[in-house]
């Protein structure tokens, strides 16, 4: 019984540490400005993950909580259920706030890595890696990105080790008026 408890505690600690880690070869951006990152970001492409299954028109809105953490409001249209979904979570910096390395939680004490590995100076485009090569997002302030940005960010992802051929390209064909209905 005691061995099972120790094993469970070890597994929980390992999960917690690995969820807020970086994929090998990835480096979070430095000189990160939290205030400039806040606002709405549209998901342009992602490696498909279970918690975003069947979602299009996906976006994330970041705002400050009173305690200094970042409120995360993810939205998307479920193409199978034909309805909008949302998830509210919070993000915290893993290190200093001027390093784009955060951890995000939508489920109580469990956090996942959120690592900004590429960001343009105007904060219009971002490449975000999770804790492993299974999680990658290309984000934009608009619902599309110029071809040059796309190719540059895909090259960065490939250099880290991501298989960009597996990216799911998100459609944005629903009205943005839905943003207000889910707040």
Domains defined for the chain, CATH in brackets: 2-181 (2.40.128.20)
pTM for the whole structure: 0.85
C-alpha closest to that of 114 among 57, 69, 54: 69
Q: Render each residue's pLDDT in the chain as its tens digit; 183 residues.
A: 433 322 233 333 333 334 458 899 999 999 999 999 999 999 999 999 888 999 999 999 999 999 999 999 999 999 999 999 999 999 999 989 999 999 999 987 889 999 999 999 999 999 999 999 999 999 999 999 999 999 999 999 999 999 999 999 999 998 644 444 444
Burial of 10 (0-12, 13-18, 19+ CB in 10 A): exposed
- Residue 129 phi, psi (nearest 5): -105, 145
Q: d(Cα 93, Cα 37) in Å, to the nearest integer?
A: 13
Q: Helix (H, G, I), strand (E, B), or coil: what is residue 26?
A: coil
């Amino acid at each position: 019984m005691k061995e099972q408890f120790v094993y469970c505690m070890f597994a929980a600690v390992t999960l917690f540490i690995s969820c807020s880690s970086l994929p090998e070869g990835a480096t979070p951006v430095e000189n990160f400005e939290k205030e400039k990152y806040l606002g709405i970001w549209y998901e342009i492409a992602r490696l498909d993950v279970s918690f975003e299954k069947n979602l299009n028109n996906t976006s994330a809105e970041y705002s400050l909580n009173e305690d200094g953490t970042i409120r995360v409001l993810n939205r998307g249209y479920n193409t199978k259920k034909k309805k909008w979904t949302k998830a509210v979570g919070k993000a915290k910096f893993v290190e200093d706030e001027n390093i784009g390395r955060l951890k995000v939680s939508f489920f109580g004490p469990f956090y996942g890595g959120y690592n900004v590995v590429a960001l343009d100076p105007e904060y219009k485009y971002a490449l975000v890696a999770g804790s492993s090569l299974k999680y990658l997002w290309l984000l934009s302030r608009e619902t599309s990105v110029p071809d040059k940005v796309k190719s540059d960010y895909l090259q960065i992802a490939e250099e880290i080790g991501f298989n960009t051929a597996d990216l799911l390209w998100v459609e944005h064909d629903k009205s943005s008026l839905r943003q207000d209905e889910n707040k």
